[in-house]
Amino acid sequence: MSAYVSAFELFSVGVGPSSSHTVGPMRAARDFAVRLRESGAVDRTARIRCTLYGSLGATGIGHGTPDAVVAGLRGDDPATVDPDAVRRAWSDWPDGGVLTLAGARAVPFEKHDIEFAPRMRLPGHPNAMTLVALDVTGGTLAEETYYSIGGGFIRRDGEPSRVSARPFPLAFDSAEELLALCDERGLTIAEAARVNEQALRSEEEVAAGLDAIWDAMAGCIDAGLHAEGELPGVMRVKRRAAAIRAQLEEAEASGHRELPGEWLGAFALAVNEENASGGRVVTAPTNGAAGILPAVAMYWWRFLADSGIGADNAVTPHGPLAGSALFGFGGSQPSGDEPADDHAEDLYVEANRRRGIRRFLLTATALGSLFKANASISGAEGGCQAEVGSACAMAAGGLTAVMGGTNRQIENAAEIAMEHHLGLTCDPVGGLVQIPCIERNAIAASTAVTAARLALRGDGSHYVSLDAVVETMRQTGIDMSHKYKETSEGGLAVNVIEC
């Protein structure tokens, strides 16, 4: 057993606006429909009922939860489904409509077949849902309760709570153990994560998979930077990322210096506006906090990757994978033979940046695994500290790694970032992942950069450990009133007029 969660589980491609309220319920409904099909019970199914409990019931409509349930019952996968096929799938459901379960059997379905029970909280998790298959007499053919435990992860009632039961070769359950393991093996944190990933996939598959994650993140940024109009919902929130992009491009074209800090915020806004619109996003580690890691990674890619920042204190790779062409530790400094022409130089720069992004994502994965295992990444369970706080810490650690930081500087950066998000509430206005969520990602991206720079100015030694902050976060989440945990019953959600 290990705290480690694969990068390909922690960073999963899905649809907005919420990993716990959209992606998780879609996966749960799909799992239920597939089980019906594989057991043969689907042939006797005459009706499907679903009850959304706790936070799923409280803010489910604003988060697109019933739409996601309908899509999942059809057999849609969050990673491949067209976002347009999910938007308003339940909201616009016609009277007398027929639902095809996992592509196998058409059954009558009405909107009221999905019920909301916001005041009923099941003991397994605040995000709970029960799916029931009925026969023609109204008898129960199958019934399953699922918990959407954050980041798109789901767990069926009765299954063990630990997400990863795989026997990874480099097992660790705390930051202290991770650092000790790296010291013993002569590894960076990214190398340790890569050893674990390569227990599941080849080196080439790991590199290609990480590149695909980054391409999806970068694509989401680009889509958000060029999309205009209003976000769905009664508040009619106006998109801002495209206008900011135009302003920054105009300023740079007129001879002003580049504005990295402003671009950082625009990158984050772009992702979370795409998420709020129900578009294609990557959980990082959740949808509500999906803009922070891509924004910080793009900030490094665009403004720092070729600047030599971090070269003075760069880690010299000496682990078993140090010589890999796919995972070489160029970071912010080039290595190998210089390119012979402009085209070759472009390819060389691209390859070096991609190696850095792989290092960024692997470092963030190791850190995110600790938050998931020892605290929570679910806003319904731990408040927004669990989502935005975790993402900020992961981004800070990843940035520190690609800027040449040592393992202890990486751990320090993550600790700084998380420490200053302790107690952050999840209070989405109107049950929508818009206010304050979108701006909160931009602010947290800036905090991640600040945390990385502070850590790089030190030697890695610090008074408060990352493990202490993770445990404090866990305790704070337990103590926090449920009003401030994605129910829209407290905070800004009750003090801001929705329309």
Contact 390, 243 (CB under 8 A): no
pLDDT of 338 above 60? no
Q: If pLDDT is split at 50, 70 and 90, which confidence band does 268 have?
A: very high
pLDDT of 345 above 80? no
The predicted-structure confidence for 210-258, as pLDDT tens digits, reads as follows 999 999 999 999 999 999 999 998 899 999 999 999 999 999 988 877 7
Give residue for tokens 């988060």. 63
pLDDT for residue 255: 81
Three-class secondary structure of residue 60 per DSSP: coil
Q: If pLDDT is split at 50, 70 and 90, which confidence band does 335 have?
A: very low
Count of other CB atoms within 10 angstroms of residue 200:
13
Residue 411 sits at the vertex; the CA angle it makes with 149 and 453, to the nearest 5 degrees, is 115
pLDDT of 322 above 90? no
The predicted-structure confidence for 272-299, as pLDDT tens digits, reads as follows 999 999 999 999 999 999 999 999 999 9
Among candidate residues 252, 266, 485, the one with its CA nearest the CA of residue 387: 485
Among 1.10.4100, 1.10.287, 3.40.50, 1.10.1060, what is the CATH number of 175-316+346-495? 1.10.4100
Average predicted confidence (pLDDT) for the chain: 91
- Looking at domain 21-149, what is its CATH homologous superfamily? D-3-phosphoglycerate dehydrogenase; domain 3 (3.30.1330.90)
pLDDT for residue 209: 97
The predicted-structure confidence for 408-449, as pLDDT tens digits, reads as follows 999 999 999 999 999 999 999 998 999 999 999 999 999 999
pLDDT for residue 499: 56
pLDDT for residue 257: 76
> How far is the CA of 403 from the CAs of 257, 321, 396, 397, in angstroms?
22, 19, 11, 10
Q: What are the sequence ranges of the domains in the chain?
A: 21-149, 175-316+346-495
pTM, two decimals, is 0.90
Whole-angstrom distance, CA of residue 395 vs CA of residue 170: 22
- Beta-strand pair 280-282/105-108: unpaired
pLDDT for residue 107: 96
pLDDT for residue 318: 43
Q: What is the mean pLDDT of residues 202-217?
A: 97
pLDDT for residue 409: 98
The predicted-structure confidence for 2-19, as pLDDT tens digits, reads as follows 899 999 999 999 999 999
pLDDT of 349 above 90? no
Q: Which tops the pLDDT comparison, 211 or 332?
A: 211
Residue 10 sits at the vertex; the CA angle it makes with 7 and 16, to the nearest 5 degrees, is 130
**Structure-token pair, residue 275:** 């998420």
pLDDT for residue 40: 94
Which of 76-80, 353-357, 386-390, 494-498 shows the lowest mean pLDDT across its residues?
494-498
pLDDT for residue 92: 94
Q: Which tops the pLDDT comparison, 346 or 230?
A: 230
pLDDT over 90, % of the chain: 83
Q: What is the mean pLDDT of residues 141-166?
A: 85
**Structure-token pair, residue 103:** 């592509």
DSSP 83-122: HHHHTTTTTTPPTT-EEEETTTEEEE--GGGEEEETT---
pLDDT of 498 above 90? no
Buried b (16+ CB within 10 A) or exposed e, 55-89: bbbbbbbbbbbbbbbbbbbbbbebeebebeebbeb
Q: If pLDDT is split at 50, 70 and 90, which confidence band does 330 have?
A: very low
pLDDT for residue 343: 77
DSSP 145-184: EEEEEETTEEEETTS-S-S-----SS--SSHHHHHHHHHH
Residues sharing a CB contact under 8 Å with residue 184, sequence separation 6 or more, in sequence order: none
Q: If pLDDT is split at 50, 70 and 90, which confidence band does 486 have?
A: confident
The predicted-structure confidence for 53-74, as pLDDT tens digits, reads as follows 999 999 999 999 999 999 999 9
